[in-house]
Structure 1
Amino acid sequence: MIWRNIASNFLTVAVVILIVAAAAVAWGKRQYSGPGPSAIAQCVQVPPGASLDSVSKQLSEQGAVSSSYIFRTGADYAGKSRDLKFGSYLVRPHASMDEILRVITAGGPSTCGIEVTYRVGVRENSVVLRDVDPTTGEYVEQVKYDPATGEVPEAITRAEAQRGTRMRLTVAEGVTSYQVVQGLRQISLLAGETGSVPPEGMLAPDTYAIEKGLERRKLLDDMEKSQAGILAAAWEARPFDLPYKTPEEALVMASIIEKETGIAAERPQIASVFVNRLRDGMRLQTDPTVIYGITKGREVLNRGLRRSELAARTPFNTYQIPGLPPTPIANPGKAAIQAALAPADTNYLYFVADGTGGHAFATTLEHHEANVAKWRAIEAEQGAAAAALAGQGQGTGVSN
């Protein structure tokens, strides 16, 4: 009897233990796959070479997971404990442990964390420090300065020295090779000399990952390699009735298209105008080429063109010379290159600004002159409005 009671009690205890264990497992699964504790988006950072243990503790400390132990156990069970990918990842509010694990083991580009962007622009260069606002999941600009004139803010210096900061160089579409070289020289983070200015048009406008000590010449070489690949692919896919003899001529055209419009949807139409003019033996008559002939791409011409400049016969004055100028006038982006080699099918021969930031197109000179008249009227209205605004509160010198 005694042994029977002991066996019965042992069996009861075992059953209770099994029930408790099953309940604990079920609870753990719910904790792992259920909504997480964080009511705001979280930026989860995985340093290079980080262990699952350190990442799980970090997640617990910042309130992204309720238990570092359950997170590690779930990762082990899923066979992903060694699959962590370096980077900074934004996870949504109340993300489950399972979801967080999938994000930090999938890899891909970082989606949060401190970011310093060095921008080479047509009119100015800038350095911008951004970070993600966890409450919105959006990047917020925190510091911005002009590297040519301003002292480096302390926040930028700290960010550059901080492990995990993403640093990028963004080269705007339409900048000249001279401007790119000057911009790289202003970035103290980079090393080495730039060497000679690369050929105009042969640097791909894009965003490039950079790091402290990266050689400037290597960065320029990478830009050239990228642009050569873009041009080669577009040239290979072109229709064979275009008026270009070489890829280099197409690049010249792409640079003109780039400088004529900043509206992506217009580029094929702008390209069609110039292609139609070349086919008809008409001069291109485009201001940006004349401007490049004056500035050589070294500065921005902050004024209108003079009659004498439009009348001067130079290699870049397309009002005076037939065909294309001898070189590109800027570094065109991929879209402009594709437009030059895949223009829209139109009969347009003319275009002029329409006052909205875009252009009005025409097939006949008569129609074009009407569009020009409309643009002149808009210009006059804008000028009058600006003058009135400038004169407010200054007095006119006339008494009633």
Structure 2
Amino acid sequence: MAKVAADDRSVSPEDAAERAGARAFGRRGALQSPNEALQPQPAPPPPERRHRRRPRRTVLSTLSGILSFVLVLAVGALIGIGSVAERFAAPGPLANDKVVFIAKGTSRGDITDQLEREGVTDDALMLNAGLLLASLRRSETPKAGEYLFKSHVSLAAVINTLLEGKPLQRKVTLPEGLTSQQIVDRLKELKDEEGNPLLKGDMHVPKEGTLMPDTYEFARGDTGESVLKRMQDRQKEVLNEVWARRAADVPIKSTYDLVTLASIVEKETGKADERPRVAGVFVNRLTRHMKLQSDPTIIYGLVGGKGTLGRPILKSEVEASTPYNTYVIDGLPPGPICNPGRAAMEAVGNPAKTKELYFVADGTGGHAFAETIDEHLKNVARWR
């Protein structure tokens, strides 16, 4: 035993290493059965992980930095939003009220450029951006039309005007007593400040007596036909109201005849208090089968829709046979000689109850009335 130990101590380092390897091989590389050789070898255990604890102060510092950054961004955003809001609410550069027409089909960019050229804004880019955002938010687009922008209008007000789409409403007053041709001519004469027509499209001349004189609103770009249609609708409405309230003993058989006689009353006098009286004279004459003998019917028979003769009536024209000359024909003419107003229609529907059969202009804008031919001739001698 002691000798073996001595032999072990006398072994060189190289031999010791070799023997150690052989012993290890003996444990791992010993002969195995085929089944043992096929068994997987266990994996070596993973190395131990060393957990390092981060200082608590570092985490708090990071969170504080993030919160500070977010706060700075929020404050900056609020300042920016406030600045933009002030910009949109600030008075604009427009010195005086201005009317601007936005043509149909104009793009948003062209609209803002146009408003900058017109002096409504001095920042087309800002207006364009605001108009885009407002359009998306409200699901609306800028509307074409003619708009009135007040002096120093703000960007916000401009945007609201364009998106609301309530264009400037113009007015046209068409007085009583005009013929349909005269009304169409007046509508065609409506022009803007640059001489461009305010109403578009062709206009036909409606039948005489079918248009209601009044003041009508319209927007630039409306058709003339649309205005005429409103006048016709209004005339039907008024006529039906008057017809429903007419006196039972009036010798008028239809609404058409009522308008025809009302058109004669309209042309005979412009004084409101005389209309029922003039209508009463004509109703009395119709009842007695007398000719109406109205000068305006002579003129219409000569010039038609032109409306005015431009000179006194000649004696030969009084005797001329035309369908409208009530000095020649019996009863009413074949149709209206102008477009009468409500007051003239009301006068025919409810005429004054008198025995008067004559009247003549008295030189003061009114008329002198008479029940007999002798009294009438005296009035004629006095005023003519």
Relative to the length of structure 2, the TM-score reads 0.58
1:249 aligns with 2:257: yes
Q: State the alpha-carbon separation in 1 of the partners of residues 304 and 118 from structure 2.
A: 54
Q: Which residue of structure 1 aligns with residue 146 of structure 2?
A: 88
Structure 1: gaps (5+ residues): 113-118, 132-139, 144-158, 172-179, 181-197, 377-400
1:286 aligns with 2:347: no
Q: State the alpha-carbon separation in 1 of the partners of residues 246 and 340 from structure 2.
A: 22
Q: Which residue of structure 2 aligns with residue 167 of structure 1?
A: 200
Contact 2:265/2:278 (CA < 8 Å) preserved in 1?
no
Q: State the alpha-carbon separation in 2 of the partners of residues 362 and 258 from structure 1.
A: 17
**1:18-33 equivalent positions in 2, closer than 5 A:** 18-33=74-89
Q: State the alpha-carbon separation in 2 of the partners of residues 301 and 248 from structure 1.
A: 25
Q: Which residue of structure 1 aligns with residue 240 of structure 2?
A: 235
Going from structure 1 to structure 2, the CA distance change for 1:91 and 1:269 (only over 3 Å counts) comes to farther
1:303 aligns with 2:362: no
Report the count of equivalent residues. Answer: 304
Deviation of 1:120 after TM superposition, in Å, equals: 5.1
**Relative contact order (alpha carbons < 8 A, sep ≥ 6): 1 or 2 greater?**
2
Going from structure 1 to structure 2, the CA distance change for 1:333 and 1:26 (only over 3 Å counts) comes to farther
- 1:157-202 deviations in Å (ceiling 9; x for gaps): xx58xxxx7436789xxxxxxxx5xxxxxxxxxxxxxxxxx86545
Going from structure 1 to structure 2, the CA distance change for 1:92 and 1:351 (only over 3 Å counts) comes to farther
Going from structure 1 to structure 2, the CA distance change for 1:69 and 1:236 (only over 3 Å counts) comes to closer
Q: Which residue of structure 2 aligns with residue 42 of structure 1?
A: 98
- The amino acid across from 2:339 in the alignment is P
By percentage of residues, which structure has more strand? Answer: 1
Equivalent of 2:73, from 17, 32, 35? 17
Going from structure 1 to structure 2, the CA distance change for 1:43 and 1:224 (only over 3 Å counts) comes to closer
Deviation of 1:315 after TM superposition, in Å, equals: 5.3
Q: Compare CA radii of gyration and give the structure with the larger one.
A: 2
- 1:297-341 deviations in Å (ceiling 9; x for gaps): 57853332234544567654434655322332x341554774465
Q: State the alpha-carbon separation in 2 of the partners of residues 223 and 362 from structure 1.
A: 37
**1:319-358 equivalent positions in 2, closer than 5 A:** 319=327, 323-328=331-336, 330-333=337-340, 335=342, 338-339=345-346, 349=356, 353=361, 358=365
Q: Which residue of structure 2 aligns with residue 274 of structure 1?
A: 279
Q: State the alpha-carbon separation in 2 of the partners of residues 5 and 252 from structure 1.
A: 97
Q: State the alpha-carbon separation in 2 of the partners of residues 373 and 230 from structure 1.
A: 40
Going from structure 1 to structure 2, the CA distance change for 1:360 and 1:334 (only over 3 Å counts) comes to closer
* Aligned Cα root-mean-square deviation (Å): 4.9
Deviation of 1:69 after TM superposition, in Å, equals: 4.7
- The amino acid across from 1:86 in the alignment is A
- The amino acid across from 1:96 in the alignment is S
- The amino acid across from 1:40 in the alignment is N
- The amino acid across from 2:240 in the alignment is W
Q: Which residue of structure 1 aligns with residue 127 of structure 2?
A: 68
Contact 2:246/2:349 (CA < 8 Å) preserved in 1?
no
Contact 1:253/1:340 (CA < 8 Å) preserved in 2?
no
Q: State the alpha-carbon separation in 1 of the partners of residues 301 and 67 from structure 2.
A: 96
Q: State the alpha-carbon separation in 2 of the partners of residues 307 and 345 from structure 1.
A: 31
1:359 aligns with 2:366: yes
Q: State the alpha-carbon separation in 1 of the partners of residues 368 and 275 from structure 2.
A: 9
Contact 1:291/1:301 (CA < 8 Å) preserved in 2?
yes
Q: State the alpha-carbon separation in 2 of the partners of residues 104 and 55 from structure 1.
A: 10
Deviation of 1:227 after TM superposition, in Å, equals: 4.0
Q: Secondary structure at the match of 2:332?
A: coil
Q: State the alpha-carbon separation in 1 of the partners of residues 331 and 263 from structure 2.
A: 14
Q: State the alpha-carbon separation in 1 of the partners of residues 133 and 376 from structure 2.
A: 69
Q: State the alpha-carbon separation in 2 of the partners of residues 33 and 344 from structure 1.
A: 61
Q: Secondary structure at the match of 1:89?
A: strand
- The amino acid across from 2:68 in the alignment is T
- The amino acid across from 1:250 in the alignment is L
Q: Which residue of structure 2 aligns with residue 98 of structure 1?
A: 156
Q: Which residue of structure 2 aligns with residue 55 of structure 1?
A: 111
Q: Secondary structure at the match of 2:257?
A: helix
Q: State the alpha-carbon separation in 2 of the partners of residues 16 and 230 from structure 1.
A: 69
Going from structure 1 to structure 2, the CA distance change for 1:339 and 1:166 (only over 3 Å counts) comes to same
Structure 2: gaps (5+ residues): 1-56, 171-179
- The amino acid across from 1:253 in the alignment is L
- The amino acid across from 1:260 in the alignment is E
Of stretches 18-27 and 314-323 in structure 1, the one that deviates more from structure 2 is: 314-323
Q: State the alpha-carbon separation in 2 of the partners of residues 313 and 14 from structure 1.
A: 97
Relative to the length of structure 1, the TM-score reads 0.56
By percentage of residues, which structure has more helix? Answer: 2
Going from structure 1 to structure 2, the CA distance change for 1:298 and 1:93 (only over 3 Å counts) comes to closer
